[in-house]
Structure 1
Amino acid sequence: MTIGRILFATDFSRHAQTAYLYALSLAQAHGAGLDILHVCCEGDWSEEDSEACTRLKAEFSAYAEGQMARYQAPLKAAITDVRTHVVFGRRASQEVARCAGEWGVDLVVAGSRGTGGLKRWIYGSTLDRMLKLLSKPVLSVTERPDLAVDPADPATYVRFQRILVPVDFSECSLSAVRMARGLGTPAGSVIQLLHVLEDVFPIGFDVGMVVPFPNFHEGRLAGARQRLQTVADGLAGYAGTVTTEVVPGVSALEILDRAQEGGSDLIVMGLHGRDFTGERFIGAVTDKVIRHAACPVVTMTCPLECP
């Protein structure tokens, strides 16, 4: 997958600062253009046609432009195609989705605050809403104060050396495999293909209870390993190393454990949940991985025809 243009959505928070470092690293590595977008969320005051509202809007714009200048100044030597945008809208997620579509970007990068609890359940997070609306891959980045990247020095930019790709054999996860190949380093990163075999117990119809069929789990493991190896074979010619692993367990926990134990610096996974209206929703596995992974996570949107 070719990355020709990247959209970095920022609210100027410390979480966005980390996402910015990843966005510029990817733009430099792929020779991509970089759009930096800030959305000033309008309230009811924006509909008032008054001098005070006009002045307030101008102050918001001036502040945002000043912050944008801080992003743009160090990039001239590393990235030549950088554009900054300040727009007004009701919701940041809607404006990001609109701009991503109109500008033809290939990847959206945004910071994740890791919001949880009752507030997140009631209102949802901006990132949640973005994932539902966007048809582009999204790189979600949590704050990393230890990230030693100097925007003025491309030699310090982030390079993904170990990429973990959970595969459930859906079209979304296969798209994630292709995306991981594109995000690897020119010399070839290590791509770790992981399939988690959730516990399934066959039911004995005669007694309506769990029956331990001989070789049932062994057969499932063997079948999953064969399918995963077929996926790996599709990466023939890749410059790096491709490994495969099939493990039994709970998907989210195994993905997080393997990412931590294997020293993964990126997770790429499919996002293919939909509710009864056909709208995308973030499945439990993806949600847990995004909020708890120590490394950034790229989510790939599934085409509408995928189950």
Structure 2
Amino acid sequence: MSNTIVITTDGSEYSESAAEVGFEIAEKMNAAVHVLSVGDTNLTQISSIGGGPPKTKDDVTEIAAGWAADLAATARAEGLEVEEVVRTGIPAREIADYAAEIDADMIVIGTAGRSGIERMVVGSVTNKVVRTAPAPVVTVRPDGTVDAA
């Protein structure tokens, strides 16, 4: 049975740092990498008052597809077996659901390093994934340090 690691991306520097760690783990475990990006439907509901127009479901899915394609290309260039996956919905839920669907051995995800009140107000996709994931979760902090949950 082959090992499978889900590496998430939202196009941020945090997810890029996490991907580097995930690629190293995948290489050591001889694991297949599933690059997962989620078009966040929460962004389709943002008011355009004081900003640009709200994004559509197609917009957020297209953006997520670009992130997944970029990260998958990097993984392939490193010689990893890669599957590129794009979902649309609530990111934490989609990540946990996808990991369960494929019976993933691990999830690797970046964290923005928020804490305290900012974390409570803004919320944390990473925190929600850690609490709901069906597999171990490796979180990578902005400074590149790694936690496992």
| TM-score interval for Structure 1 and Structure 2 normalised by the shorter chain | 0.7 to 0.9
Aligned-pair identity in percent equals 28
Q: Corresponding residue for 2:63? A: 223
Counterparts in 2 of 1:223 and 1:242: CA distance versus 1, 3 Å:
same
Query: Would the aligned equivalents of 1:187 and 1:239 in 2 still touch at CA under 8 Å?
Result: no
Distance 2:9 2:99 in 1: 14
1:181 paired to 2:26: no
User: What is the TM-score when the length of structure 1 is the normalising length?
Assistant: 0.39
Please give the residue correspondences for 1:1-307 in structure 2 after superposition, counting only pairs within 5 Å.
161-186=3-28, 188-199=30-41, 200-201=44-45, 203=47, 216-275=56-115, 283-303=123-143
Give the structure with the higher percent helix. Answer: 2
Deviations 1:220-246 (A, max 9, x none): 322321232112112233333111222
Distance 1:275 1:223 in 2: 27
Q: How many residues align?
A: 136
Give the superposition deviation at 1:253: 1.0
Distance 1:224 1:287 in 2: 20
Q: Corresponding residue for 1:153? A: none
Counterparts in 2 of 1:163 and 1:232: CA distance versus 1, 3 Å:
same
Q: Which amino acid aligns with 1:201?
A: Q
**Paired residue secondary structure (2:45):** coil
**Paired residue secondary structure (1:236):** helix
Counterparts in 2 of 1:219 and 1:288: CA distance versus 1, 3 Å:
closer
Larger radius of gyration: 1
Question: Higher RCO, 1 or 2 (CA under 8 Å, sep at least 6)?
Answer: 2
Query: Would the aligned equivalents of 2:3 and 2:29 in 1 still touch at CA under 8 Å?
Result: no
Give the superposition deviation at 1:269: 0.5
Distance 2:131 2:48 in 1: 39
Query: Would the aligned equivalents of 2:5 and 2:106 in 1 still touch at CA under 8 Å?
Result: yes
